[in-house]
Each structure stands twice: as structure tokens, then as C-alpha cells.
Amino acid sequence: MRRLAFISALLPRAAAFAPTGGVAASVRYLRAGAIASAAPDVDRYYTKEREPETRDFIMQQTMLRVKDPAASLAFYCDVLGFNLVTHREFEQWGFNVYFVAPVDPASIPSDPEERFARFCMRTPGCIELTWNYGSEGETGPVYNVGNGDATGTKDGEAVRGGFGHLGITVPDVYDACARFAELGCEFTKTPNSGGIKGLAFFKDPDGYLIEVLPQGSLVTKPVDHAGIPVEGGGYVDNSKKK
């Protein structure tokens, strides 16, 4: 209520500066201004020197809990083209971990300890797939994947999870997505649907989103693999409504 009253009080002043379009346009104008004022000044982060203590640090992994390791390994290795770089079994604690990454398989050491300590721990961008024993036998989704998911909540209501997605880049988004579709992947956004054209989102076996981006600028094609034309895709830009 306080927020609504605050916005209402500012509307007459905003009308003098905001584009025409009535109250709705003025509210959008105020909201955009509030977001802009809250955004941090990022310039120094582009040019700052790394602290000496951190210069050898590596962004090495993101961990995902998975229901069925066989399904997840098949997806990340066969569909995305990654390789298993190491794995560990912790029977005493009831879970296994599998590290996957897009690497040359010839570079992966044959010795298990070398694979873990020398290779995996020095490879940036690994995904650690963690399997807790028994989850593969459960019915339906097991883990909340963020993005307004209700999985695991006590009241069945969706929660505002912090996790968003993983992302890969490919030479041609449209060709890659056509292949993913042929392999049975479920898309939440094809390259030509939604507001931003030339990128896509699809799900891994647990429902975690994978974003597909080009290795360069966004480019578009007239029709994507789902038959959606670049002009349209069922998207309505509410920010331009008057």
C-alpha cells in the first residue's frame, strides 16, 4: 500500500517528463527510473587489477543435484557434447559426484587421482552433477530448479528461486536447436519466440534451463526449427503499450 501511495503521489510530476500514454505509461516510466537509480556503477570492475592473492583462482564448477545420473550424463555428454572428466563415489554418505566439461577427451588423464587433482580442479566451467542415492526411484520432479518452481514446497506454491539457468554458446543457434529438438529436448523458448530473437532455452532431464547463445552477435533466421517466424513468435512487448 505504501508503494502504491508513493507511486500515485509521483504520477503528476512524472507526467511532465514521461512519454504520453496515460497512467500505465507513467508507472512504467517511474519503474524504469527506479531501476536505473539502483543499478551499480560498474566501470571500475572492467579495469581493476586482480588482487595478488586471487590471481590463480579459477571459476571451476557449478553444482546441480540430479535425480537420475544415467539420464543426466547422457544429456550433458551426448546431447551437449561434454565429457566426464572425473567422478567420485561416497557410499558412506550416500551420494556420487560426476564432473562434466567441454574438453578434448585425449587430455583427460587415465589415472583417477590425476583426473581429479591435476585435471578437473584446474578446468574452468565444470558442472558437478550430484546424485543422492535413491532419488532415481522417486516419482516426478525431485529438485526445485528456480524460475517460479513449486517442486519441494510444503504448500505447493511456486517460490522465487535464485537459480536461473546454465548457458552454452554455439556457432549457429538455429542449427544447434534443430539438433536438440531432434534429440527430444523440451524448449521453453525457441530462437524466434519471445522478445529477444536468436537465442533459446531448453530443459535438461531435471528441468534446469540451458540457454543457447551464439559465439558472437545475435543473428536471426526467417524461421526456426519449430516453424516460428522471426516476425512474431507470440510475443507482445508490454513496455511499448500506450
Q: Which residues are catalytic?
A: 211
H/E element, 16 = none
Whole-angstrom distance, CA of residue 16 vs CA of residue 37: 19
DSSP string, 57-86: ----EEEEEES-HHHHHIIIIIIS--EEEE
Count the Cβ atoms, other than its own, within 10 Å of residue 191.
30
* Burial state string for 10-28 with b = 16 or more CB within 10 A and e = fewer than 16: eeeebeeebeeeeeebbbb
Cell of 159: 517460490
Listed residue (70, 71, 91, 74) closest to 83, CA to CA: 74
Alpha helices in the chain (DSSP H): 2-15, 22-38, 43-47, 69-73, 112-113, 173-182
H-only helix segments in 16-127:
22-38, 43-47, 69-73, 112-113
Q: What is the number of alpha carbons within 13 Å of residue 54 lying toward its C-beta?
A: 5
Euclidean distance between CA atoms 122 and 52, whole angstroms: 18
